[in-house]
Amino acid sequence: MSAELPPEVVTEFKVRYLELPLGAGKAAMITMDNGHDHTRPNTFGLGSLASLNAAIDTIEAEAGLAAVCLTGKPFIFAVGADLSGVPFISDREMGLEIAQAGHAAFNRLAGLKVPTFAFINGAAMGGGLEIALHCDYRTVSSSAAAIALPECFLGLVPGWGGTYLLPNLIGAKGAVKVIVENALNQNKMLKPAQVADMGIADAMFDGADYLEQSLIWAAGVLNSDVVVERPEVDRGAAWDDAVAAGRAFVAGKLGDAAPAPVRALDLIELAKTASKEEAFAAEDEALADLLMTEELRSGLYSFDLVQKRAKRPVGVPDKSLARPVTKVGVVGAGLMASQMALLFAQRLQVPVVMTDLDQARVDKGLDYCRAQIDGMQAKGRLSEGKANRLKGLITGSIDKSAFADADFVIEAVFEDLKVKQQVFAEVEAVVSEQCILATNTSSLSVTAMAADLKHPERVVGFHFFNPVAVMPLVEIVRAEQTDDAAVATAFAVGKALKKSCVLVSDKPAFVVNRLLTRFMGEVTRSVDEGTDFSTADTALAPLGLPMTPFVLLQLVGPAVAFHVSETMKEAYPDRFYVSDNLAKVVEAGKGAIWAWDADGNQTVDPEVAALFVQGDDPLTSEEVRQRALEAMAEEIGLMLDEGVVAEAEDIDLCMIMGAGWPFHLGGITPYLDREGVSEKVNGKRFLAPGVASLPTG
């Protein structure tokens, strides 16, 4: 090979022999174990593949075997290829050799002369699931977590047999769902019952004595007491239809912005008629190509941010300073506040009380929470007892004295500074001096909110994104007088809510909304100047964003977006744009730019079109895109200079988790670096060369 890979944590394939139950004979039991506990899963690098080859050498020399069984260390089967070496793969030939090495080792397992069984005892992803597919039979533990082929999520394809073996096992429709659709739907995992129902596993057993039951089942298969029946795979039009549906899904989700899912669909299409050897050779070529793409480097950068940096946020005070939270107060009972109340009760399992101006509003908020709980119970996510207990935790009042014994009170009222200052004054009058006061403001100054309080040091920003239960980010804002205890408590609460929290300083609109407002302002400005609505709205399509700017405007609400743009214009009048046309849309009470007819065709709402007064200086899509990207590059440079966050990586994390910035782009800063926008605007890159990009020089 042309370069050296970093040291590998080798997964050993440890062989022992045992007598199967029911007199079924002697079996070789292979256990995959990298010597660490479940917090460091089994992965496959070149050393691990060498260990698999050695284990097969040992097994082939053993006489009298009836079967070979493969399982993992406690809680972990295997999670696939060791991707830590990807940044060190400097040329396509090296990637091709790695792809071929995996196929060669797995093929030896598949080619053993006795029946092979995979006992999926825990997490099985990527190559971990693929090695199981090379076995003749599979069982799965009912307690196994994280079963998937997530490669397309990162910028790869299942390249050690997955795109051939899976569709030929369960059909193309199921394979497209697992390989493409689940991967692109936020890396959705399969549950063990789904794995069994889809036919990926032949049987499912409970976790407590899973291995024992699997061995008994395997013995039954060998003795012909258990007959494994698999439906015949439809190789006709259904296969073609599944691939076509997958292509339409990818086009709608990403356009042509990411190559991996398209390549995966090509391989699934090929698997309909190709021999195993032909299909595996095509997988090798696909892996060799994709290992050299910017999308893979970017996907791995994103993955590292979400899996590591999000769990170890920068600049957070010691967790020992966090105060216990045994009761939560929520000021407001509107939709956002109600979502927050439900999440606090569900995750913290403490009493939560909502207040509002009158009983009707309080009752509406409580009704929302109860309806959501009933829905979870109906779907089997909550038992009747747990549902009733959860309902009992959420109460309402029109009197803020209900907060007297609360440890954490968060406001979610109208985005007006004076209103929020009044709310905090009223709350401070009834709570203890130890109670943390939090604001869900999306753009206003937390420092100003706390300025007139007796204890401004306990006020902290705690900015959720909508929908509260779904979006994983919380921006935690340290105001000028916020003390370490308040920040530490906010992070402890965020962790208990299972959110990823990023520490930001108290600057207008913080991170996500500041960037989105700048970005939206440039797109809106282009329309005001004369650019066609459709041209402006689709200008960023090559990025594969989750939605277009004007669809995002509809989701956020024109009134909210316009209010934030005014706030930002006031703070930074030379950079942020306020659209007079958008003001008319808000004044007219219109909720969207686009309208859809009965056939689903998108047109500008005629009433909105009538409101707009446009100039006569239209831009092309490329000009709109370049203007928006340059504006964001400028804004990010200024944010880093201002110390809004510790590093550029935090901005990327915020945009991925708070704005749905595409995973395959690796965050906004590496994208701007790769496109040359960072250097054009700021005279320098945001990240070091080679970070989230191909090696240079």
Tokens of 647: 């590093």
Predicted local distance difference test score (pLDDT) of residue 664: 82
Residues facing 397 on adjacent strands: 355
Best CA proximity match to 273, nearest among 229, 230, 233: 233
Q: What is the mean pLDDT of residues 434-438?
A: 98
In terms of C-beta density within 10 A (0-12 exposed, 13-18 middle, 19 or more buried), how is residue 237 classed? exposed
CA 653 – CA 656 distance, rounded (Å): 5
Q: Write phi, then psi, for 68 (nearest 5 degrees).
A: -125, 130
| Structure-block tokens of residue 286 | 């696909």
Between these two residues, 670 and 692, which has the higher pLDDT value?
Answer: 670
CB-based contact 10:16 (threshold 8 Å): no
Task: Give the per-residue pLDDT at 3.
Answer: 53
Q: Name the residue type at position 242.
A: A
| Single-letter residue type at 136 | D
* Span 171-176, average pLDDT: 98
pLDDT digits 0-9 by tens, 319-369: 999 999 999 999 999 999 999 999 999 999 999 999 999 999 999 999 999
Domains 12-292 and 512-643 share a fold: no
pLDDT tens digits, one per residue of 591-637: 999 998 877 788 999 999 999 999 999 999 999 999 999 999 999 99
Sheet with 12-20, side-by-side order of all strands: 12-20, 25-33, 65-72, 116-120, 137-141, 203-205
The angle formed by the CA atoms of residues 268, 272 and 276, to the nearest 5 degrees, is 85
Three-class SS string for 263-302?
Answer: HHHHHHHHCCCCCHHHHHHHHHHHHHHHCCCHHHHHHHHH
Question: For residue 1, what pLDDT is reported?
Answer: 41
Long-range contacts (CB closer than 8 Å, 24 or more residues apart) made by 547-553: 547/660, 549/519, 549/520, 549/523, 549/524, 550/523, 550/592, 550/593, 550/594, 551/594, 552/516, 552/520, 553/520, 553/592, 553/593
Does residue 259 contact residue 124 with C-beta atoms inside 8 Å? no
At 697, is the pLDDT very low, low, confident or very high (cuts 50, 70, 90)?
A: very low
- Tell me how far CA of residue 690 lies from CA of 5, 675, 686, in angstroms: 16, 14, 12
The whole-model pTM stands at 0.86
Q: CA 246 to CA 230: how far, in whole Å?
A: 24
Q: Which CATH number fits domain 512-643: 3.10.20.600, 1.10.10.10, 1.10.1040.50, 3.30.479.30?
A: 1.10.1040.50
- CA separation (Å) from 653 to 313, 625, 657, 669? 10, 22, 6, 10
Contact 272, 235 (CB under 8 A): yes
E strand or H helix at 355: strand 352-355
Q: Which CATH architecture has domain 319-505?
A: 3-Layer(aba) Sandwich (3.40)
pLDDT tens for residues 21-50? 999 999 999 999 999 998 899 999 999 999
For the cut 80, the answer to whether the pLDDT of residue 303 exceeds it is: yes
Cross-strand partners of 396: 354
The predicted-structure confidence for 49-103, as pLDDT tens digits, reads as follows 999 999 999 999 999 999 999 999 999 999 999 988 888 888 899 999 999 999 9
Nearest to 162 by CA among 193, 188, 113, 124: 124
DSSP state of 332: -
Per domain, the residue ranges of the chain are 12-292, 319-505, 512-643
- Residue-wise pLDDT tens digits, 503-512: 999 999 999 9
Class of domain 12-292: alpha beta
Q: What is the rounded distance in angstroms from the CA atom of residue 417 to the CA atom of residue 424?
A: 11
From the list 285, 292, 286, the residue with the least C-alpha distance to 91 is 292
State the pLDDT at residue 4. 64
Geometric angle at alpha carbon 416, from 412 and 421, rounded to 5°: 75
What's the chain's length in residues? 697
